[in-house]
Amino acid sequence: MSEPWEHEDEVNYRRYTLWFVYACIIYSLIGFTWGVLMGGIAEFRYFVDHRLHGNLIVRAHTHINLLGWVEMAIFASIYYIVPRLIKRPIYSLRLVKVHFWIHNVGLVGMVLFFTIAGVAGGIMSQTSTLDEVESVVKPLLAIMGFFGSLVLLANIIWAYNLFRTCSGWEKRYASA
């Protein structure tokens, strides 16, 4: 007999919860390595600190750490804890899956386009006018914004799924 918080498709629920953990580990290793390289390679540090739009590379690093390492760890933890806390299965396993994929696609896109814009802006700033640099960087940041919107959508899906999972839990215990 299964516990009341176990999902009817427990194997897939555990799989996706663990995928959030694995993503957390991968993003943390990427982010930590990136930080060491930015700090440890003088030319890279100079590029990031002193070239036009070099700071976008720092933003990419920050986002892979915050939205990759930290947020994925939080998602995995909450997906694990909440059903056990309220002794009820997650509202929708499908939304857990959608959340995972949209968040990862959005995050990778954000980091990629932040980085491309930072590198392009930094390299171009050596030989091009400000207007020429901006004409290349602005569209890249617009694409980055699209991917950032995907991350926001994924977070809204996560919040909705948890809200639906938790809503009404008190009634269950009031009647017991």
Residue 53 lies in a domain: yes
pLDDT at 175: 58
Distances, alpha carbon 170 to alpha carbons 2, 60, 142, in Å: 21, 42, 44
Which amino acid is located at 169 in the chain? Answer: W
Residue 175 lies in a domain: no
Q: Is the pLDDT of residue 4 over 50?
A: no
Residue 173 lies in a domain: no
Residue 74 lies in a domain: yes
* 114: containing domain: 10-168
Residue 99 lies in a domain: yes
Q: Which residue has the higher pLDDT, 159 or 168?
A: 159
Residue 29 lies in a domain: yes
Provide the token pair at 86: 């309220």
Q: Average per-residue pLDDT in the chain?
A: 92
| 89 touches 7 (CB < 8 A) | yes
Q: Is the pLDDT of residue 143 over 70?
A: yes
Residue 14 lies in a domain: yes
Terminal Cα-to-Cα distance of the chain (whole angstroms): 20
User: pLDDT exceeding 70 applies to what percent of the chain?
Assistant: 91
Q: What average pLDDT does the segment 99-118 reach?
A: 98
Distances, alpha carbon 78 to alpha carbons 48, 54, 97, in Å: 35, 35, 15
Number of domains in the chain: 1
